[in-house]
Structure formats: structure tokens, C-alpha cells
């Protein structure tokens, strides 16, 4: 499907549709974030976004608002309209039935149930179809959904809160708090956007975090995932006592009596997964497993051991690095503990997406070059 005709106006309306789509970023998963704007000439006659799986898609909200004004109108949609009947009816059919004459789409839906069929259906009905307007931004907005469908793994953001000398905890393990309130508020937003927040058992044993979203209490809570090969976790920790979010403990243990340790807690489940050659959880086999459980966007908030293992295994798409103006000195807790890399002086695969002041701290967002290539995105993709 190629763009037939597109101009600044198309980009302007599509940008509005993307802004609408972004409003669903705390609630739509496992579904994608989608926005729709319907125009008659210079006038917007309908607009909407997908709010939640099982509820109407963006096109349906916009069509309902447009009513009879949809006849002969142009629809801007951030993702190819669906052609199948899922929990809601097919949107391509709804656009045809409403008499829409032109449909501009940001990107094709990689979901095998749609994948070009929605666009074909519209064209067969005689509708003028344009695809690929602001595709870069549309892909970046749905990185979690796309990663799950196209790569069978979550899109992984690894968050680090570190001092100026790159340390993430004092030698006694204390890390609360290295960064300031603004950075910590920002992490709450990252958690709220994520399907899951994953950490290593040492962080749970040392910090006893809740790993939930407290700043926006009405929002859906992400799944908490704890990697605990030997099942060292016991019921007194907050990831168990706090039932506001579900907790999934991944372990290599298989004995039924161990796996039943948290049976009394309905929000806690334990899953036995394969071990790697060192007896830790096999991270390469974990990612597909999480994608199959509907995890798209995932935030990692772990210590240097798990962070380093994930970077070494090339399982991280973005590093979100909060740096505080503090010098912690000779602690044993650097952010990463990686083998020496002399090539790093010539080339870094980590591309700087943005650098933002967060009160006294600074936040870097870095994207791995392979992830940028896969997303087919430039670094200028902020909605």
C-alpha cells in the first residue's frame, strides 16, 4: 500500500490522531494505542481514541461523534482499521457503512488477523486509501504492542537511578533515595505506562519495594515480575503483602511444596521456567514467554547483576538513566558490571534520544541502535 497523495494537512490531522492515541497509553494494553480524527474539509466532525481492550475502537468513537457528517468525510487513523470481528465489530466495515470517502492511516497493523486486510477491504469498497503518514511516530507510540507481535518479546526499558559517579546504592545496599522527587515521579509515569515491572530477587530482599503506581491511584497497575531462581522470597515482603497489583514470581524450582508457598495470596502466582547454564533463569527463553502472556511494554528496575545480564544478552531496547548530582564514593554497587569493551571508544550502540533536566537530576533516554532499526524510527519520534 503506497501513499497516493499526502500533504501538510494530512500530517497535521494525523498528529492530532496520534495525540489522541497517546491518551490511551495507560489503559489499552494488550491492545495498541489508536486515535482517529474525522474531517469534512477544514472541520473536525468526530474524534476518539481506544481506551481499553474489549471497549470500542477509536474509529467507532469518532464515527459516533460524526453521525451523518461522516458521509463523504476523511478519516485519519493511527493504525490500520481492523477487518476481523474480535470483541468489537470490524472497523473497516464501520467506516465503509458510514460513507467515509478517504482513509489516511499511519501504519499497517502487524497483527496477522488484520495485516493489510483492513486496507484492502476499504479499497475494495472504493475508498481512497493512503498509508504511511507519520509512520515513525506511530511505531514509536506502540513499541510495546509491535514488539510483542513482530518480535515475540516485550519492548524493554531499563531504568537506572545513579549518582554522578555511576553508583546505584551504598555498600550497605541502601539506595532510597539517590534521585530527587521529580525523577521518582517520572518513574511512576513509566510504571503506569508499562504492562509489567520486572526486578531481581536481590532488589526485593534489599529494598522491599512495592513496585506499584502510587502517584496515579486510579490507573491500572502493572504486573510485578520477580526473577528468583532459587525461590528465596518469603511472604513478609511488600510485593506479597501489598495486593494492589498482581505479582508473578519466576523461578527455576519445580518442587510442588515450594511453588505452593504463596498459595494463600490470590494476587501472587509462581511460574517454573528453564534455567541457564549458571542455574539462573534463562533470560533468552523468558522474553518470548512474557510476550505470549500479553506483556508488551516492560520496565526493568533491578540492580547491577540483572541489569548487566540483560545488557549482555542484548535484551534491552532503552536505558532510562536518571543521574543525581551526588558522589557516593567507593561503594560496590555500580549501575552495570560489564566486561571491558575497548570498541566503546569508537562506537556505541546506544543512541541518545533525549536529555532532560529533572529538578536537580538529569534524565537520559538511550535507545539501542538495533531497536531503532527494528522500529524503523529516527530519534525524533516524540509524540
Ligand X SMILES: NC(=O)c1ccc[n+]([C@@H]2O[C@H](COP(=O)([O-])OP(=O)(O)OC[C@H]3O[C@@H](n4cnc5c(N)ncnc54)[C@H](OP(=O)(O)O)[C@@H]3O)[C@@H](O)[C@H]2O)c1
Active-site amino acid positions:
59
Nearer to ligand X, 50 or 191 (CB): 191
Strand-pairing partners, residue 223, are 196
Nearer to ligand X, 67 or 279 (CB): 279
- List the one residue out of 57, 76, 60, 69 whose CA is nearest residue 12: 76
No. of H helices and E strands in the chain?
13, 14
Minimum CB–partner distance for residue 117 and ligand X (Å): 40
Minimum CB–partner distance for residue 366 and ligand X (Å): 15
User: For residues 362 and 360, what is the distance between their CA atoms, to the nearest angstrom?
Assistant: 7
Minimum CB–partner distance for residue 258 and ligand X (Å): 13
For binding to ligand X (CB under 6 A), which residues are involved?
160-161, 168-169, 173, 175, 178, 199-203, 206-207, 227-230, 276, 280-281, 283, 301-306, 309, 333
Nearer to ligand X, 91 or 306 (CB): 306
User: For residues 134 and 143, what is the distance between their CA atoms, to the nearest angstrom?
Assistant: 15
Minimum CB–partner distance for residue 177 and ligand X (Å): 9
Question: Got the DSSP string for 33-51?
Answer: P-EEEEEETTEEEEEEE--
Question: Got the DSSP string for 288-324?
Answer: HHHHHTT--EEEE---HHHHHHHHHTT--SEEEEEEE
- List the one residue out of 219, 218, 237 whose CA is nearest residue 228: 237
Minimum CB–partner distance for residue 163 and ligand X (Å): 9
User: For residues 174 and 328, what is the distance between their CA atoms, to the nearest angstrom?
Assistant: 11
Given a contact cutoff of 8 angstroms between Cβ atoms, the answer to whether 222 and 197 are in contact is: yes
Nearer to ligand X, 48 or 334 (CB): 334
Nearer to ligand X, 78 or 229 (CB): 229
- List the one residue out of 286, 28, 45, 27 whose CA is nearest residue 36: 45
Nearer to ligand X, 143 or 168 (CB): 168
Minimum CB–partner distance for residue 240 and ligand X (Å): 16
Q: Which residues contact 241 (CB under 8 A, 6 or more apart)?
A: 235
DSSP state of 23: T
Task: Please tell me the total number of residues recorded for the chain in this structure.
Answer: 383
Minimum CB–partner distance for residue 153 and ligand X (Å): 15
- Which residue's C-beta sits nearest to ligand X? 303
- H helices present in 50-167, as ranges: 58-66, 91-97, 117-124, 135-141, 143-146
User: For residues 28 and 48, what is the distance between their CA atoms, to the nearest angstrom?
Assistant: 13
Cell 515482603 belongs to residue: 237
Nearer to ligand X, 65 or 331 (CB): 331
Phi/psi-derived region of residue 294, left when phi > 0, alpha when psi is between -120 and 50, beta in every other case:
left
Amino acid at each position: 500500500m503506497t501513499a497516493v497523495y499526502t500533504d501538510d494537512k494530512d500530517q497535521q490531522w494525523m498528529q492530532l490522531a496520534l495525540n489522541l492515541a497517546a491518551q490511551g497509553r495507560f489503559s489499552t494494553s494488550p491492545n495498541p494505542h489508536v486515535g482517529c480524527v474525522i474531517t469534512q474539509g477544514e472541520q473536525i466532525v468526530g474524534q476518539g481514541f481506544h481506551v481499553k481492550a474489549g471497549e470500542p475502537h477509536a474509529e467507532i468513537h469518532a464515527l459516533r461523534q460524526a453521525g451523518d457528517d461522516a458521509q463523504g468525510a476523511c478519516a485519519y487513523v493511527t493504525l490500520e482499521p481492523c477487518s476481523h470481528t474480535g470483541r468489537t465489530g470490524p472497523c473497516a466495515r464501520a467506516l465503509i457503512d458510514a460513507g467515509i470517502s478517504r482513509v489516511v492511516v499511519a501504519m499497517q497493523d502487524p497483527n496477522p488477523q488484520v495485516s493489510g486486510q483492513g486496507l484492502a477491504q476499504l479499497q475494495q469498497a472504493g475508498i481512497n486509501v493512503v498509508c504511511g503518514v507519520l509512520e515513525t511516530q506511530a511505531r514509536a507510540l506502540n513499541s510495546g504492542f509491535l514488539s510483542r507481535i513482530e518480535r515475540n518479546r516485550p519492548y524493554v526499558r531499563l531504568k537506572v537511578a545513579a549518582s554522578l559517579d555511576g553508583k546505584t546504592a551504598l555498600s550497605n545496599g541502601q539506595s532510597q533515595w539517590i534521585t530527587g522527587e521529580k525523577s521518582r515521579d517520572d518513574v511512576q509515569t513509566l510504571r503506569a505506562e508499562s504492562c509489567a515491572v520486572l526486578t531481581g530477587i536481590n532488589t526485593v530482599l534489599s529494598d522491599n519495594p512495592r513496585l506499584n503506581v502510587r502517584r496515579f491511584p486510579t490507573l491500572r497497575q502493572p504486573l510485578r515480575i520477580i526473577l528468583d531462581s532459587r525461590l528465596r522470597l518469603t511472604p513478609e515482603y511488600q510485593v506479597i503483602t501489598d495486593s494492589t497489583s498482581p505479582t508473578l514470581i519466576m523461578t527455576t524450582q519445580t518442587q510442588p511444596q515450594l511453588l505452593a508457598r504463596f498459595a494463600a495470596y490470590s494476587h501472587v502466582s509462581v511460574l517454573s521456567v528453564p534455567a541457564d547454564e549458571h542455574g539462573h533463569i534463562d533470560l533468552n527463553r523468558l522474553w518470548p514467554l512474557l510476550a505470549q502472556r500479553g506483556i508488551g511494554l516492560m520496565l526493568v528496575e533491578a540492580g547491577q547483576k540483572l541489569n548487566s545480564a540483560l545488557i549482555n544478552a542484548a535484551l534491552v531496547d532503552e536505558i532510562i538513566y536518571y543521574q543525581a548530582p551526588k558522589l557516593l564514593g567507593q561503594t560496590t554497587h555500580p549501575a552495570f558490571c560489564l566486561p571491558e569493551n575497548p570498541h566503546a571508544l569508537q562506537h556505541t550502540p546506544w543512541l541518545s534520544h533525549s536529555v532532560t533536566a529533572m529538578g536537580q537530576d538529569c534524565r537520559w533516554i538511550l535507545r539501542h541502535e538495533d531497536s531503532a532499526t527494528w522500529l524503523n524510527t529516527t530519534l525524533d519520534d516524540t509524540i
